Chain A
C-alpha cells in the first residue's frame, strides 16, 4: 500500500516536472510578427520610425481618416462650432453639433485619446531622436517633433475644457498627469515651441520647421491674450509658407476625412447655423467652396452641402501657414487699435493670397465691426483647419485675453434643425475614460 502510494506520487511528480521542463524548453515560445518590441526602437532607425509614426498619428487625429470611425479634431471642433452640421444619424455626434455633449461619447473619446497619443508620440520621438541620433545638432527632426507636440497642446487648449491632464509612459513607468487649466495648457504649448526654436538643429533648417514653431508660438500667445508678442512672432513667417499634414487614398487611415465625410453625407457645410453662425454658404466666398448635392445627408433630414476646399481624399490640410501669420499680425494691429493697419493687412491677403483676388473689405466703422471683420476673415481663410472653435471661444472669453462677446451671439443658439434646442457647450468635455487617471477631476470648468 505504501509502495503503491509512493509510486503514484512519483508518477505525478514526474509528470508535473516534465510539464515544467517542456514549458522551459520552448514549447510555449510563439512568434507574433505584427508586434514591435520597444527595445528594438532604441536606435537611430528606431527613433526615426517613432518620428514618422508621430507625424502619422498627428495627421490622423487632426484630419480624421476615411474609415468613418475616426472623425478627427477639425471635424469635431467644426461640428461644435458653426462650420459643420450633423447630417448623419449617430446621436453621439449629434450631441456635439447640438452643444450638449455627454461625457460618454465614442467620437469625442477617440479624438481626445488620439490627440494625447499624437502628443505623447511626438514627445517620445523628440526624446529618442535626441538620445539616439548621432548628430542631433544637425537635424531639424527634433524641433519638428517638439513643434508638433506644441500644436497638440494648442488643440487641447483651444477645443477642450479646462482641466486636461498630460501623462506619459516611459519604460515600465506610467506617469499620470494632473489637471491643467486652459492657460497652463497654452503655457505648455508655448514652452514646446520655445524649446523647438532653441534647438540647435534648426541651424540646418530651410525655414520650414522654424516657421512652424514660430507660428505655433504666435498662436499660443494669441490664445494667452498676448497679442503684440503674437504679432511679433508671426512677423517673420513669409505669407507663402505652409506646413501640412498629408493624405493618400490608401490605406484608409491616410484619407482626408474632411473630404470623405462630405462625400458620405455625414457632415454638411453650415450656413448661419443657429442664427448667429457665419454665412459660409450664402457668402459664396471662394475660400469656402462647396457643392449643393441637392440631396439630404444620411439622416434623410439635413440638406447636404459638401465642402470643396479639400477636393479629394488625398488633399493635404494645413497645420500652419503664412496667411495665418498675417491674420495674427492683423489681430495684433486690432488690439493696438490700428484698425486701418488691420484692414490693410487683411486686404493684402485678399488681393494677393488668392486668385482671382477678392474685393477689398470696407472700413470698419468701429472696433466691434473690426472684430467682426477680423474674425470673419479668419473663419473664411482658416475654414476647416481647426481654428474656428478656438476663435469662437476667444470671442466670448472675457477681456483682456478675449473679446467678451455674449455666448449666444457667437455660438449657434435656439431651435436645433433636427428637433430640440441647442445646449450651452462652448468647448468639448473631458471624456469619461479619463476618470481612470487617479488625478483627473474632469473639467475644472466649462468656461470659454
Chain B
C-alpha cells in the first residue's frame, strides 16, 4: 500500500536547515518509516491538515493537500498512529516498524462534528479539547480559504464562530473591521481581541492609518483605515482557534479580556516537494441604490424670494414664503452617465511548496494580490480631463486599489530526540490607495447624496468625481513577522516551550492634493486646491517572549496530573513622524517647496511581564479539573499600583463515558464549566500627569511653551474582567448531530472610563479612572449536522448563533453619562454606547396628508432607544457535496439584529443640506415628513436622530467548487485540480431604509456607529483555480 514513498530525501532547503540547526545526519541511518493517506470516508477525498500523531513520541505530522503523511526516521518498534481532524472521528491504527522498512497506513475518517480529542493550543501548550473547561472554536481555514469567497482575513471569522461579531465598516477596498467577541467589555479601552500567530503576538491595530480620509478626525479611531490583521494571507493559515473570554484567556494575561485569536500557519510535511498553485480572478462591484436628492422648485417670480427656488419645502410653502411649482429629484450615484462606479478587477496568485526530511520540514509560500475597488471616473469626466491635460493618472481613473505581496515560511527541525525548533517567518509588502470614505463632501457618497444641486449644475454633484479622485491617499506598509519556538522534552513527563517573536510594521501614509486639480475644499489650514501633501511614517512593533514548562504525572491508576508554569514579556513600541506641506507649486508632489510646512513626532512604549502556574487533575481521563493563577505587571499601571493576580478554574466532565450514563440518543456528552479573570491595561501614558509642548508666536517670533497635557491618575490599574461560562458538547444520533451550547456571564470591574474632567479645573479634557462595571451575558449555540452522508452525496449544515446582553452596571460615582458619537451614551443601567434621543410623535390633525411643523413634536428629553451593536447574531453555513465530493456547493447566510442604526445621512440631508424627500414631497409617507420637520422644531436640529432597526440577513457567501477527476489533473501533469466560483454579499433582506445597515462612518471606533456618507458594502465575484503538483 505504501508505495512511492522515498525514505531518505533531502531537498536543498532541508539540507540548509540541517546545517543551520545542526541536525546530525547520521541519526537518520537504520530507521524505518510510517506513511499513508487520510481520506474522507464518504467520498474518498484526501483530507488536508489532519494531525497524525505517533503516540508514545512527540512526533506529529500534518497531512498534505492530498491527505498524505509520512514519518521518517522512526526507530524500529510498535507504534499507535492516531489521526485527528476537525469534523471527523479520530482513528487509530497500530504499526510495527522494522529497520529500513516503510509501513503504509491509510485512514478513512468518518465525519463527526463533535471532536473532543482534537488538540487545541492553550496558553500552556497543546491540550486535548476534552481537557479544556471552556468553549474553544476552531476554524478549519485550510479548507475555507480555498473554497469560500475569502477576500481578507476578517472574512474567515465572519459567521464561523458563535459569539464572534465581525463588523465591516465599509465596502471600500482595504478598509478595516471591528471584531467583538462576546460583546464589549470596556468603555474606554480597545474591545478588539488579542492575536497570536504561531505563538507570536501580533500588532493588530483595528484602524492603522493617519490618512485623513473622512471619519471623524485624524488620529481618532475613525476614518477608513485598514485593520492590520487583514495583512495576514488566509491561504497561509492552517487553522484559527478562538478563545472567547477571560474564563479561557486568563493565562494570556492583561489585554486578554476581549478574547484571544490564535492563528496557526501551515507547516510542512516530510517528503518530496509538493507544490500547490492557485489563481483567483474576480470582480468587485457596487450594486447599491442611493437615496434621491430632492428639490422644491419655485419658478414663479412675483413676490417670491428666489432664494427659495430649489428649497421651496412643504413648510416654506405653508408659511407663504414660496410656491412649490414642482418637486424634482436626481441622484448622480444612480445615473449611468454620472455614476462613479465600475466593477474592479480582483486577482490573486499564490504558490506554496512543502516537504522535507525526517529532521527538517518546510512550508514556503508566496502570494500576490491586486484588488481594484469599485470606483471609476465617469467616462464623461475622463474625456474632459483628457481634453485639457492629455492624460488621466491611474489613481484618478481608478482611485481605490490594493496590492499585496507576501512570502511566508515555516521550518521545523528536530534538533535532537528531545528538542525541536520551529521557525515562522513572514514578510508582507502592501500598497493601498484609499478614497475619501466617510463624513465628508470629499466622498463620492457625500458629494452625491448631500448635494443640493440638480443635474443642471455640476451634473448633480457637490464636488465632481474628477476633483474627488484627483486626491491620492496611499498607504505603503512593510511587515515582518518572525519567531522561533523551541520545544524541549527532557523527560517523557516533562516538556518545555520557548517562543521569541517580533512583529514590526513600517508604514508610510501619503496624502497628496495636486495643485489646481482637486476640490476647492478647505479641511483646515487652507484650500486643498492650492496643493497639499502629507507624509507620515510609523514603525509599530511588538516583541514577545513566552516561556513555559509542563509536567504530567500519574498520581495513581485513576488520577493524572499536569502542572504548568510559564512567563511572558511583551513590549509594544510605536514611533512615528508627521510631515506636511500646504500650497504647492503646480506640478510639484513634494513637501519641499511648500509655502507652509509642519512636522511633529510621536513615540509610545509599553511593557509588561507576567507569569502563571496551572494545575490540572484528571480522573480516569473523564473528569478534568484545572486551577491556575496569573501574575502581571505593566509599565502603564499607576505608580501607586503594583502587580495584579488573575485566578482561573475549570472543569470538564465526559459524562457519557460514565458507567451510569444511559441516554441512547447521546453518543457523546461533555459538561464543562470555567471561571477566570483577565484584564486590560491602561494606555501608555494614562497614569501620568504631564505637560506637553505647544507652539506660539510672540513679537513676530515663533516660540514654544508648555501646556497641560494630562491630569494622569497615579492609582490607575488594569481593568479586571471575570467570567463564568458553562456549557455542553453533545454528539447525538450516532454523531450525526453535534450541539455546543454555552452560557457566559462576564463582569468587568474597575473598568476604565475616560471621564470628562470638569473643564473649570483648567486641566486636560479627561482622566482615566477605574470606576465602572460592565456586564455581558448571553448564550452561544452551534449545531452541526450531516444531513446526508452517502458516498455520492453529503450535506453538512452548521447553524451557529449567539445573544449578548450588555449592561453598564455602574459608571462610577458622580460620573455623568458619557457621550459617544452623535446620539450614543454610556449610561448606567443601559447598554454601553446605546442610542439616546428624543421621541418624535406626529399627527396629521387636519388630515391633509401633510405634516407641518405644528403637527410634530419632540419629547422633552432624550430616552433610551436601543443598542448600537447587534445583540443577536446567527449564521447558517451549508456545504452540499455531490459526485463523491467532486462538486461542493457552499452557502453562508449571516443574520444580525437586536440593534438600531443611526441613519445620520438622512438626518443631515433633511436638516443641513435640505435635500431629503420628506421636506419637499407631499406624497412622502407621513413618518418621513415628520422626521424631516422635527429637525426644525425648537430643540430639534442635532438632537433629532433618525434611528432605524438595523437587522439584516445577508447571503454572505455562495460558492461552487468542482474538484476535477484525477485524470484531468494528470493531463496537466498535476496531482490535483479544482475550480471554485464564488460570490460575496449577494443579497440582503432588511427593514433599514438607508443604503446598507452594516456601514459605519466611525469605522473601527470602539462604540460610535453612524451611517454617514460611507461606502456601502460591495459585491464580490471570484473564480479560483487550484492546482497541486
A residues adjacent to B (C-beta < 8 A)? 1, 4, 8, 11-12, 15-16, 18-20, 22-23, 27-38, 41, 46, 49-57, 59, 65-69, 89-92, 94-95, 98, 100, 102, 104, 109, 112-113, 116-121, 123, 164-169, 172, 174-177, 246-255, 260, 263-265, 298-301, 313, 415, 418-421, 423, 431-438, 440
Nearest Cβ in chain A — how far from B468, in angstroms? 15
In angstroms, how far is the closest chain A Cβ from the Cβ of B357? Answer: 37
B51 → A minimal CB distance (Å): 30
Cβ contacts under 8 Å, A37 to chain B: 690-691
Interface string of B686-697 (1 = CB under 8 A from A): 001111111111
Q: A22-B609, A301-B452, A420-B936 are in contact. Are A66 and B526 (CB under 8 A)?
A: yes
The verdict on A435 contacting B816 (CB below 8 Å), with A52-B698, A69-B217, A169-B763 known, is yes
Task: Please indicate the chain A residues that have their CB under 8 angstroms from the CB of B763 in the complex.
Answer: 117, 120, 169, 174
Q: Is B558 part of the contact surface with A, judged by Cβ < 8 Å?
A: no
Residues of chain A contacted by B759 (CB below 8 angstroms): 109, 112-113, 116-117, 431, 433-434
Determine if A91 and B522 form an interchain contact, defined as CB atoms under 8 angstroms apart. Answer: no
Asked if A53 and B761 sit within 8 Å, CB to CB, the answer is no
Stretch from B478-486, B875-883, B939-947 forming part of the interface with A: B939-947
A8-B615, A37-B690, A436-B755 as given contacts; A252 in contact with B524, CB under 8 Å: yes
Cβ of B433 to closest chain A Cβ, rounded Å = 25
Question: Can you spell out 7 A-B residue pairs with CB atoms less than 8 angstroms apart?
Answer: A33-B603, A37-B690, A55-B703, A91-B935, A95-B942, A100-B941, A174-B763
Q: Is the CB of A440 within 8 A of B758?
A: yes
Q: Are B524 and A23 in contact (CB under 8 A)?
A: no
* Contact for B758 among A12, A102, A415, A437, CB less than 8 A: A437
> Assuming A91-B942, A263-B527, is B705 touching A432 (CB within 8 A)?
no
Q: Are A15 and B567 in contact (CB under 8 A)?
A: yes
Cα-based distance from A327 to B274 in the complex (angstroms): 91
Residues in B with CB closer than 8 Å to A432 are 816, 819
Chain B residues near A168 (CB-CB < 8 A): 761-762
Closest Cβ of chain B to A146, distance in Å, is 15
Contacts A35-B688, A246-B698 given; indicate if A100 touches B524 (C-beta within 8 A).
no
CA–CA, A220 to B689, complex, Å?
35
Flag whether B987 is at the interface (Cβ < 8 A).
no
CB of B606 closer than 8 Å to a CB of A = yes
Closest-by-CB residue of B relative to A152 is B762
Which residues of chain B from 536 to 577 have a CB within 8 Å of any chain A CB?
Answer: 549, 551, 553, 555, 563, 565-567, 569
B847 within 8 A of A: no
Chain B minimum-CB-distance residue to A116: B762
User: Is the beta-carbon distance between A89 and B569 smaller than 8 angstroms?
Assistant: no
In whole angstroms, what is the CA distance A94 to B911 when docked? 10
User: Which one of B453, B707, B819 lies within 8 Å of A57 (CB-CB)?
Assistant: B707
Q: Which of B643, B691, B912 contacts A38 (CB 8 A)?
A: B691
Any A CB within 8 A of the CB of B272: no
Residues of B within 8 A of A437 (CB): 758, 760-761
Q: Are B698 and A420 in contact (CB under 8 A)?
A: no
Indicate if the CB atoms of A91 and B690 lie closer than 8 Å.
no
Chain A contacts for B311, CB-based, 8 A: 301
Within 8 A of A (CB), among B611-633: 611, 613, 615, 629, 631, 633
* Smallest Cβ-Cβ distance to A91: which chain B residue: B942
B938 at the interface (CB under 8 A from A): yes
Q: Are A246 and B700 in contact (CB under 8 A)?
A: yes
Choose from B553, B569, B699, B912 the contact partner of A4 (Cβ within 8 Å): B553
* Distance in Å: Cβ of A263 to nearest Cβ of chain B: 6
Contact A35 B692 (CB under 8 A): yes
Chain B 129-148 per-residue mask, 1 if CB under 8 angstroms from chain A, else 0: 00000000000000000000
Contact across chains for B526 and A177 when beta carbons are under 8 A apart = no
**Is B685 a contact of A19 with CB atoms below 8 Å?**
no
What count of chain B residues pass the 8 Å CB interface test? 106
Per the 8 Å Cβ criterion, residues 373-404 of B in contact with A are none
Distance A165 CA – B762 CA, assembled complex (angstroms): 11
A8-B563, A254-B695, A437-B758 are known contacts. Are A265 and B522 too (CB-CB below 8 A)?
yes
Across the interface, do A436 and B696 meet the contact criterion of CB distance under 8 Å? no
Asked whether A56 and B441 contact (CB < 8 A) given A1-B555, A4-B553, A300-B913, the answer is: no
Which residue from chain B places its CB closest to the CB of A105 in the assembled complex?
B942
Decide yes or no whether B8 CB sits under 8 A from chain A.
Answer: no
Q: B1005 to nearest A CB, angstroms?
A: 15
The answer to whether A35 and B762 touch across the interface, beta carbons within 8 angstroms, is no
Does B16 touch A at the CB level, under 8 Å?
no
B762 touches A436 (CB 8 A): no
- List 4 extra interface pairs beyond A36-B709, A251-B695, CB under 8 A: A23-B609, A37-B690, A102-B939, A420-B937
Q: Quick check: A436 and B757 within 8 Å, CB to CB?
A: yes
Whether B598 contacts A120 by the Cβ 8 Å rule is no
User: How far is the CB of A77 from the nearest CB of chain B, in Å?
Assistant: 17
Give chain A residues whose Cβ lies under 8 Å from the Cβ of B462. Answer: 300
A113 partner residues in chain B, CB cutoff 8 A: 759, 765
A11 contacts which chain B residues (CB < 8 A)?
549, 565, 613
Is there a chain A Cβ closer than 8 Å to B684's Cβ? yes
Contact in complex: A68, B524 (CB < 8 Å): yes
**Closest beta carbon of chain B to A267's beta carbon, Å:** 12
**A28-B633, A435-B816 known; A36-B706 Cβ under 8 A:** yes
Task: Give Cα distance in the complex from A421 to B940, angstroms.
Answer: 11
Q: Is B708 an interface residue (CB 8 A)?
A: yes
Chain B residue at smallest Cβ distance from A255: B525
Identify the closest chain B residue to A22 (Cβ): B609
Given known contacts A116-B759, A433-B759, A249 and B596 CB-to-CB distance under 8 angstroms: yes
CA distance A33 to B523 in the complex (A): 29
- Specify which of B453, B611, B816 is in contact with A19 (CB 8 Å cutoff): B611
Q: Which residues of B contact A53 (CB under 8 A)?
A: 691, 694, 696, 705-707
What's the Cα separation between A38 and B634 when bound, in Å?
22
Chain A residues contacting B635 (CB-CB under 8 Å) are: 28-30
B residues 729-756 touching A (CB-CB < 8 Å): 755-756
Please determine whether B914 and A418 come into contact, CB atoms closer than 8 angstroms: yes
Chain B residues closer than 8 Å to A104, beta-carbon distance = 819
Given A19-B609, A95-B942; A300-B451 close (CB under 8 Å): yes
Question: Is the C-beta of B315 less than 8 angstroms from some C-beta in chain A?
Answer: yes
What's the nearest-Cβ distance from chain A to residue B614, in Å?
Answer: 9
Question: Complex Cα distance A174/B763, Å?
Answer: 10
Query: In the complex, which residue of chain A has the Cβ closest to the Cβ of B316?
Result: A419
Minimum Cβ distance to chain A for residue B331 (Å): 16
A6 → chain B closest CB, angstroms: 12
Does the CB pair B643–A20 fall under 8 Å?
Answer: yes
A91 touches B525 (CB 8 A): no
Q: Which residues of A contact B814 (CB under 8 A)?
A: 436, 438
A431 to B600 alpha-carbon distance, docked (Å)? 32
Minimum CB–CB distance from A275 to chain B (whole Å) comes to: 15
A248 and B695 alpha carbons, distance in the complex (Å): 10
Bound complex: CA of A433 vs CA of B759, how far in Å?
A: 7
A218 vs chain B, min Cβ distance (A) = 24
Given contacts A37-B690, A102-B942, A263-B526, contact A12 B816 (CB under 8 A): no
Compute how far the CA of A95 lies from the CA of B942 in the bound complex, rounded to whole angstroms. Answer: 8
Which of the residues A35, A59, A100, A440 comes within 8 Å of B690, measured between beta carbons?
Answer: A35
Q: Taking the complex as formed, is B29 at the interface, i.e. its CB lies under 8 A from any CB of chain A?
A: no
A158 CB → nearest B CB, Å: 17
With known contacts A28-B609, A255-B525, A169–B936 Cβ distance under 8 A: no
- Bound-state Cα–Cα, A313 to B524, Å: 11
Q: Which A residues are CB-close (under 8 A) to B643?
A: 19-20, 23
Q: Are B936 and A49 in contact (CB under 8 A)?
A: no
Contact, CB under 8 Å: B908 / A100: no
CA distance A246 to B315 in the complex (A): 46
Inter-chain contact A30/B684, CB cutoff 8 Å: yes
Chain B residues, Cβ within 8 Å of A57: 694, 707
Across the interface, name the chain A residue whose C-beta is closest to B563. A8
B697 with A260: CB separation less than 8 A? no
CA distance in complex: A166, B758 (Å): 10
Proximity bits, B651-695, A CB within 8 Å = 1, else 0: 000000000000000000000000000000000110011111111
Taken together as a complex, chains A and B put the C-alpha atoms of A273 and B603 apart, in Å, by 49
